[in-house]
Amino acid sequence: MLAKVREICMRLPEVAEAVDKFGHTSFRVKDKPFVIMGEQENEGESGLSLAIKTLPTTQELLLQQEGYFKTPYIGQHGWTSLVTAGEPDWAEVEGYLYEAYLRTAPKSLAKLVK
């Protein structure tokens, strides 16, 4: 999963990958994270978690779907997580990754995304 998320995120302008002291991998633009990946436990289920910075309306819609939950500690800022047990719908996830980038990137970089 990390390889696929990396492939999508690194296509975007000025994205950098970083690993924090907890072992979470993040993808950042201008040192602001828009995607964070790591091990996560939610409601007794554990697995690889993909946390995405979403718009409030997107977060509301995702929270109504199975597998999505408000990211602990930062969910109130629009972060939504997906714990993956199987293969996600990559076309859908790619759209959320682009939304996260556009929400985080400066306007000068965001306008470069096609």
In a domain, 112, yes or no: no
Structure tokens at 59: 């977060």
Judge contact between 58 and 13, C-beta under 8 A.
Answer: no
In a domain, 90, yes or no: yes
Per-residue model confidence as pLDDT tens digits over 6-63: 999 999 999 999 999 989 999 999 999 999 998 766 555 567 889 999 999 999 999 9
Structure tokens at 67: 């597998």
Q: What is the CATH number of the domain that holds 18?
A: 3.90.1150.30
**Into how many domains does the chain fold?**
1
Q: Residue 29 sits in which domain range?
A: 2-106
Measured CA to CA, the distance from residue 83 to residue 89 in angstroms comes to 13
**Does an H or E element contain 4, and which?**
helix 2-9
In a domain, 38, yes or no: yes
This prediction has a pTM of: 0.90
In a domain, 114, yes or no: no
Q: Is the pLDDT of residue 71 over 90?
A: yes
